[in-house]
Structure 1
Amino acid sequence: MARESFDKEIQFLRMLVLTSGAYNRQQYADRLGISIHTFDKTIKRLKEIVNAVHQQLPEEQSKEFAETIRYSYLESSDPMLLFLFRAKSLKETESQRFSLLLAAMHEKPLTAMELLDLCCGSMPAELSLPDEKTIRGDLKYLEQVGVIKKEPGTRPFRYRIYNDFVRELSYDELLDLYDFIDIMANTQVPSVQGYLLRDGLKKHIARGQAEYNQIDPFLYKYHYYSRILDEAHLFTLLGAIRNRRSISFLYFSPKKETSYAAKNTNPLFERDTEGMQETTLPLKVVYDHQYGRWYLLGNHARHGIKKYRLEGITQISEEESVAEAFYEAKKTELEQRTAHSWLIDTGKPVTVRVRFFHPGHGIHNFVRERVLLQGQWGAIVEESDDSFVYEIEVNGTIEIKPWIRSFGSSCEVLAPMRLRQEMIAEWKEIKAYYESV
């Protein structure tokens, strides 16, 4: 898989969703830091992926890629990142080889040499033939991910498809399992592996039922594409955290005019990029449910604790590992700095006091329930018949402000005075939008 190309296509999909096709080709290319020629090749490749994924649709129902995202809501509810995983997670030769191996082992257990002979006799003429080392590496990988199982016995070992779990379930149990996976993949993070499991189970159910025509009972519409797109980086970062390894990457701040730059491979055509080359020790990954964003918190050699939005990270590579004592010390420092963070803010602690008003007599008090549910470690310190006062100590007020604002006229900021003045100014600005024309 070409990591650079994967980054480029992720940024391309993100812009296509956010702008709904409002940019022309030149604006897209400028924003991505690529040429128009590269832009055309990218969108052609993405259209090919979509056509391959939806090849079962009648021709009259097929849509152009941009139109699918802009207008077909139910079809665009399928996360765009899955197109990239299906098309680019394996090389073409690996895809062909794995298909042959799994099909052969589905019939009966086979040895590595038997599988080698089968591959050499069945691989397309335009693809290179594998050797014994390649086949054994494939079998080791498939065994590690739980697709196949080594049969007990002496050498030479035989391998078979490992699908015991789904084979023991009845048709109704398989449908219940499918519905559960579908709900969890659409409501929990991370999700990509859940979608791949869901699609695999759906194909298994369809194979076992000649008249299978199951309609999905749940339909989801995605509003936060960054949540899914940025999962491409998630497991790389989690692996670096687990192994205490520093990482290096090219970072594009959300304030930058470009969000991607082609990797320079020829020094004659090297050009400056607007991204920053960063090296940091990743300590924690945080997901913001309110905005659908992923954040990386790490330790920078010069600047200490630093925060990055995953949507701006490209070209990740792992560096040297650090001592366990050093890593634990930096992790403890991060926990202390974010102990009072509403999300990831590391500013100075401030006490916020907000008066919330009850919705009215005889009306279910949904305001109080929501504050108790979402208010984290804050507490209700005063309460009367018509209102209650909520108090919390947080690192700065930037992250808690949207939450307070979402209550509208059901709340009033009491302290600190600076936050109160900011809220007054914002509501005056909103009021001005609705003045009579």
Structure 2
Amino acid sequence: MARESFDKEIQFLRMLVLTSGAYNRQQYADRLGISIHTFDKTIKRLKEIANAVYQQLPADKGKEFAETVRYSYLDSSDPMLLFLFRAKSLKESESQRLSLLLAAMHEKALTAMELLDLCCGSMPAELALPDEKTIRGDLKYLEQVGVIQKEPGTRPFRYRTYNDLITVLSPEELQDLYDFVDIMANTQLPSVQGYLLRDGLKKHMARNPDDYGRAEPFLYKYHYYSRILDEAHLFTLLDAIRSRRFVSFLYFSPKKETSYASKNTNPLFERDTEGSQEMILPLKVVYDHQYGRWYLLGRHPRHGIKKYRLEGLTQISEGDAAPEADYEAHTSDLEQRIRQSWLIDTGKPVTVKARFFHPGPGISNFVKERVLLQGQWGSITEETGDSFIYEIVVNGMVEIKPWIRSFGSSCEVLAPLKLREEMIAEWKEIKSYYESL
């Protein structure tokens, strides 16, 4: 299947959202590691995809795409950058062929040869006719993604569309399912597949408006656009983890000036990129709620445990499978090394001690409630009428610092001394921003 990679478009959209369109064309092209010509082609393609998926977008074709993004975000509670996942990443012939196959299998179960005859008789004259191998590849793909189901029995196997979810439920049950999926997609991780399921249910319900007449009870404003874009790689990595397979990718560190490089196939136009080619055995994927970031943790053949931000991964491909014994040993080693990590830090353990102040008499003690909720395995060791002391042993101080800082004046770091001094320096710097001129 020609299921295209959207690496370039993903990196472009992430930069566009994070900078709110502050860069000019040349700056965008430089950051992406592409030419102005390629940049303009990418803009045109994204406009076409967005206008095809979101009919409510402005009709003004000359409008900057950054303005289009801002318009849709303010106009709708639906996360606009999801349009990339709804885009058709198949060739025209494949789209036509899959549509014919699904329509035929919706009526009754058919064999691969029957479907081949149907396609050869129904495909437009200007498109190439498929062969048996192509049809069987289509059926395998559709079965993998859960669209069709193989009927029980002997060869030749018959296939039908798999729509049991909507046929066995009553209208009331489908409405409840839609509301549940809507809530989970907007509040849990990952989100993309939930949104696609919700949209499929909405289309089915729209065909029978008499049974589903009530308005949607919930509206959301989606935060952290980047986590939607990162999910383009998430399920590829989870599949590699399940199958114990190595993955290779071109990685761009967040500290680098560029975030993408074109994949040149002509050796005359090859050029060095600032990305690094990596091959690791993926072991774990972690999400950071504090900043809305996904991380990949894996075992490098030479450098041991390594960590990557998903936003820097491009050109991902799966490799050979690792022996089960090796995989279990690497997983056990990783779990041991991050056992005391606030998130994914594998540094030396350090005891953090902080005093938290109660908000005051007659006020709900939201500070203590939050510490108990988010404090992980830490514990309250001492408590007085106006404060309490919280202690935790963590790997390093970098990851816990934003959490401590978020309490503002309700928290005072007591130990270690280095962390206390760093917090003092940071608050002095913040204070200097607000000093009278």
TM-score by length of structure 1 reads 0.93
Please identify, of 149-158 and 359-368, the stretch whose mean Cα deviation from structure 2 is larger: 149-158
Instruction: Evaluate the alpha carbon distance shift between residue 271 and residue 153 of structure 1 in structure 2; reply closer, same or farther with a 3 A threshold.
Output: closer
Which runs of structure 2 are paired with 1:305-344 in the superposition (5 Å)? 305-344=305-344
Look up the match of 1:246.
246
Look up the match of 2:127.
127
| CA shift digits 1:354-388 (9 cap, x unpaired) | 10111111111111110000000000000111110
Alpha-carbon contact 1:13-1:80 (below 8 Å) kept: no
Which runs of structure 2 are paired with 1:306-385 in the superposition (5 Å)? 306-385=306-385
Instruction: Evaluate the alpha carbon distance shift between residue 68 and residue 179 of structure 1 in structure 2; reply closer, same or farther with a 3 A threshold.
Output: farther
Is 1:282 aligned with 2:282? yes
Report the AA paired with residue 330 of structure 1.
Answer: H
Instruction: Evaluate the alpha carbon distance shift between residue 375 and residue 428 of structure 1 in structure 2; reply closer, same or farther with a 3 A threshold.
Output: same
**Structure 1 residue 155, shift from structure 2 partner:** 5.2
Instruction: Evaluate the alpha carbon distance shift between residue 334 and residue 62 of structure 1 in structure 2; reply closer, same or farther with a 3 A threshold.
Output: same
Q: What secondary structure is seen at the aligned counterpart in 1 of 2:327?
A: helix
**Structure 1 residue 322, shift from structure 2 partner:** 2.2
**Structure 1 residue 318, shift from structure 2 partner:** 2.1
**Using the alignment, how far apart are the partners of 1:273 and 1:239 within structure 2?**
28
**Structure 1 residue 160, shift from structure 2 partner:** 2.7
Is 1:175 aligned with 2:175? yes
**Using the alignment, how far apart are the partners of 1:213 and 1:64 within structure 2?**
38
**Structure 1 residue 243, shift from structure 2 partner:** 2.2
Report the AA paired with residue 132 of structure 2.
Answer: E
| CA shift digits 1:214-258 (9 cap, x unpaired) | 643322223312211111111221222222222221111111000
For the aligned residue pairs, the C-alpha RMSD in angstroms reads 2.4
Look up the match of 1:38.
38
| CA shift digits 1:7-45 (9 cap, x unpaired) | 111101101111111111111100000001101111111
Please identify, of 24-33 and 54-63, the stretch whose mean Cα deviation from structure 2 is larger: 54-63
Instruction: Evaluate the alpha carbon distance shift between residue 326 and residue 198 of structure 1 in structure 2; reply closer, same or farther with a 3 A threshold.
Output: same
Q: What secondary structure is seen at the aligned counterpart in 2 of 1:219?
A: coil
Please identify, of 277-286 and 394-403, the stretch whose mean Cα deviation from structure 2 is larger: 277-286
Report the AA paired with residue 432 of structure 2.
Answer: A
Look up the match of 1:186.
186
**Using the alignment, how far apart are the partners of 2:105 and 2:227 within structure 1?**
36
Identity %: 83
**Using the alignment, how far apart are the partners of 1:80 and 1:266 within structure 2?**
35
Look up the match of 2:149.
149
Q: What secondary structure is seen at the aligned counterpart in 1 of 2:41?
A: helix
Look up the match of 1:232.
232
Is 1:389 aligned with 2:386? no
Please identify, of 210-219 and 39-48, the stretch whose mean Cα deviation from structure 2 is larger: 210-219
Instruction: Evaluate the alpha carbon distance shift between residue 60 and residue 380 of structure 1 in structure 2; reply closer, same or farther with a 3 A threshold.
Output: same
Alpha-carbon contact 1:50-1:65 (below 8 Å) kept: no
Instruction: Evaluate the alpha carbon distance shift between residue 62 and residue 163 of structure 1 in structure 2; reply closer, same or farther with a 3 A threshold.
Output: farther
Is 1:114 aligned with 2:114? yes
Alpha-carbon contact 1:247-1:318 (below 8 Å) kept: yes
Unmatched 5+ stretches in structure 2: none
Instruction: Evaluate the alpha carbon distance shift between residue 153 and residue 416 of structure 1 in structure 2; reply closer, same or farther with a 3 A threshold.
Output: closer
Q: What secondary structure is seen at the aligned counterpart in 1 of 2:394?
A: strand
Which runs of structure 2 are paired with 1:290-301 in the superposition (5 Å)? 290-301=290-301
Instruction: Evaluate the alpha carbon distance shift between residue 198 and residue 74 of structure 1 in structure 2; reply closer, same or farther with a 3 A threshold.
Output: farther
**Using the alignment, how far apart are the partners of 2:3 and 2:425 within structure 1?**
46
**Structure 1 residue 402, shift from structure 2 partner:** 0.4
**Using the alignment, how far apart are the partners of 1:57 and 1:72 within structure 2?**
7
Alpha-carbon contact 2:226-2:292 (below 8 Å) kept: yes
Look up the match of 1:430.
430
Q: What secondary structure is seen at the aligned counterpart in 2 of 1:340?
A: coil
Instruction: Evaluate the alpha carbon distance shift between residue 301 and residue 148 of structure 1 in structure 2; reply closer, same or farther with a 3 A threshold.
Output: closer
Look up the match of 1:161.
161
Look up the match of 1:20.
20
Please identify, of 200-209 and 314-323, the stretch whose mean Cα deviation from structure 2 is larger: 314-323
Instruction: Evaluate the alpha carbon distance shift between residue 302 and residue 58 of structure 1 in structure 2; reply closer, same or farther with a 3 A threshold.
Output: closer
**Structure 1 residue 421, shift from structure 2 partner:** 0.8
Q: What secondary structure is seen at the aligned counterpart in 2 of 1:257?
A: coil
Report the AA paired with residue 237 of structure 1.
Answer: L
Instruction: Evaluate the alpha carbon distance shift between residue 57 and residue 30 of structure 1 in structure 2; reply closer, same or farther with a 3 A threshold.
Output: closer
Please identify, of 105-114 and 191-200, the stretch whose mean Cα deviation from structure 2 is larger: 105-114
Instruction: Evaluate the alpha carbon distance shift between residue 374 and residue 51 of structure 1 in structure 2; reply closer, same or farther with a 3 A threshold.
Output: same
Report the AA paired with residue 263 of structure 2.
Answer: K
**Using the alignment, how far apart are the partners of 1:208 and 1:17 within structure 2?**
37
Q: What secondary structure is seen at the aligned counterpart in 2 of 1:264?
A: coil
Q: What secondary structure is seen at the aligned counterpart in 1 of 2:51?
A: helix
Report the AA paired with residue 280 of structure 1.
Answer: I
**Using the alignment, how far apart are the partners of 1:140 and 1:417 within structure 2?**
60
**Using the alignment, how far apart are the partners of 1:52 and 1:265 within structure 2?**
30
**Using the alignment, how far apart are the partners of 1:42 and 1:62 within structure 2?**
15
Instruction: Evaluate the alpha carbon distance shift between residue 27 and residue 56 of structure 1 in structure 2; reply closer, same or farther with a 3 A threshold.
Output: closer
**Using the alignment, how far apart are the partners of 1:7 and 1:288 within structure 2?**
22
Q: What secondary structure is seen at the aligned counterpart in 2 of 1:31?
A: helix
**Using the alignment, how far apart are the partners of 1:48 and 1:306 within structure 2?**
39
Please identify, of 52-61 and 144-153, the stretch whose mean Cα deviation from structure 2 is larger: 52-61
Is 1:219 aligned with 2:219? yes
Report the AA paired with residue 123 of structure 1.
Answer: M
Please identify, of 161-170 and 5-14, the stretch whose mean Cα deviation from structure 2 is larger: 161-170
Alpha-carbon contact 2:245-2:322 (below 8 Å) kept: yes
**Structure 1 residue 82, shift from structure 2 partner:** 3.2
**Structure 1 residue 145, shift from structure 2 partner:** 3.1
